[in-house]
């Protein structure tokens, strides 16, 4: 198949691109970097473009069978008004332009990223895909993001919305910050540590995306999170054990909020998200529990 990926050389995108190339697909990736560290494969093509603006890059959508939307400015920053607008626009405008560029009446799949932040801070609630959205910034962003993607359905496009948990892998994401801190004995829980931490191993995320691509009957939202969420305190203790370091440096809630402002509240929020629809569709996780997932990542 011809597969188009926004953010196709990012943290998740590069791993997905390589997996799809190994499956025999042709991959076109688009990103902001003019001369990135590309993937040396004859079936890989890269386009440098700002997808928040319409442009020639949209012409490549005409012959695509699958469009995977992974683009978006990182949320891991101080949330000034300008930063929040960039976070919002990078997702909303890109998705709007993708939908505008999709051909009418073609059997196309739009696999568009969202996040479990869709649900907001929900404490002990068990969150399956039919739960309503929250009302904070990230929840509003995810709701609007999904709405933009859903507009593709009027063109006859199959729309799948993937609500990511925190993706665990070396080389990026949360562990890129956590592992160095633990190695110098600065690791620990955030706030009370009792908030639920929805996570997924990178291998399982890539496998879930391939699973959703290959099953034409599936559509709508899917929680891409491991079936055994943990509390933040357990995450810290488990990572500490794997790195042979104590998890004894908790970050007090007031300090997180003082330093990080509104974004700090996100780190203290709780989403007990479960992959109900993936299970119902027959997907099987390689790393359903955190102990095994972190063990594989640290050993590697």
pLDDT at 259 over 70: no
Beta carbons within 8 Å of 286's beta carbon, 6+ residues apart:
201, 203, 204, 207
- What pLDDT does 61 receive? 97
Cβ atoms of 119 and 139 within 8 Å: the answer is: yes
To which residue do tokens 């609630």 refer?
125
- What pLDDT does 187 receive? 81
- What pLDDT does 133 receive? 97
Q: What is the mean pLDDT of residues 65-86?
A: 93
pLDDT at 97 over 70: yes
Residue range 144-190, pLDDT digits in tens:
999 999 999 999 999 999 999 999 998 888 888 888 877 876 788 88
- What pLDDT does 16 receive? 98
Beta carbons within 8 Å of 235's beta carbon, 6+ residues apart:
189, 197, 199, 290
pLDDT tier, 254 (very low <50, low <70, confident <90, very high otherwise): low
| Helix (H/G/I), strand (E/B), else coil: 185 | coil
- What pLDDT does 258 receive? 64
Domain assignments of the chain as residue spans, ordered by start: 2-168+199-226
Nearest alpha-carbon partner for 108 in 213, 7, 188: 213
pLDDT at 2 over 90: yes
As a whole number, the mean pLDDT across the chain is 93
Nearest 10 degrees: CA dihedral of 119, 123, 128, 132?
Answer: -40
> So what's the architecture of 2-168+199-226 in CATH?
3-Layer(aba) Sandwich (3.40)
Bridge partners of 5, per DSSP, are 29, 68
- For residue 252, the 8-state DSSP code is -
pLDDT at 67 over 90: yes
Instruction: Indicate the pTM of the whole model.
Output: 0.94
pLDDT at 57 over 90: yes
Q: Say how far apart CA 184 and CA 38 lie, in whole Å.
A: 33
Residue range 232-243, pLDDT digits in tens:
999 999 999 988
């Amino acid at each position: 198949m011809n597969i188009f990926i926004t953010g196709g050389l990012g943290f998740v995108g590069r791993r997905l691109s390589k997996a799809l190339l190994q499956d025999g697909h042709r991959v076109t990736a688009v990103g902001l970097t003019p001369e990135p560290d590309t993937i040396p494969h004859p079936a890989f093509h890269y386009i440098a473009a700002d997808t928040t603006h319409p442009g020639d890059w949209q012409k490549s959508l005409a012959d695509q069978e699958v469009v995977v939307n992974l683009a978006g400015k990182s949320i891991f920053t101080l949330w000034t008004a300008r930063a929040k607008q960039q976070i919002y626009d990078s997702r909303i405008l890109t998705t709007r332009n993708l939908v505008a560029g999709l051909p009418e009446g073609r059997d196309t799949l739009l696999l568009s990223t969202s996040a479990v932040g869709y649900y907001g801070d929900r404490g002990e609630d068990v969150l399956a895909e039919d739960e309503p959205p929250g009302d904070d910034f990230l929840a509003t962003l995810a709701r609007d993001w999904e709405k933009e993607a859903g507009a593709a359905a009027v063109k006859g496009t199959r729309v799948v919305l993937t609500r990511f948990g925190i993706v665990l892998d070396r080389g990026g994401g949360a562990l890129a910050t956590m592992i160095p801190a633990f190695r110098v004995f600065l690791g620990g829980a955030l706030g009370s540590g009792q908030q639920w931490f929805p996570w997924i191993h990178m291998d399982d995320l890539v496998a879930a995306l391939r699973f959703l691509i290959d099953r034409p009957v599936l559509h709508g939202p899917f929680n891409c999170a491991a079936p055994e969420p943990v509390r933040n305190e357990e995450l810290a203790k488990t990572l500490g054990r794997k790195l042979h370091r104590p998890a004894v440096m908790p970050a007090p809630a007031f300090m997180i909020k003082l330093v990080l402002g509104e974004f700090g509240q996100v780190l203290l929020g709780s989403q007990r998200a479960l992959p109900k629809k993936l299970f119902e569709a027959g997907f099987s996780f390689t790393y359903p529990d955190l102990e095994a997932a972190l063990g594989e990542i640290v050993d590697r």
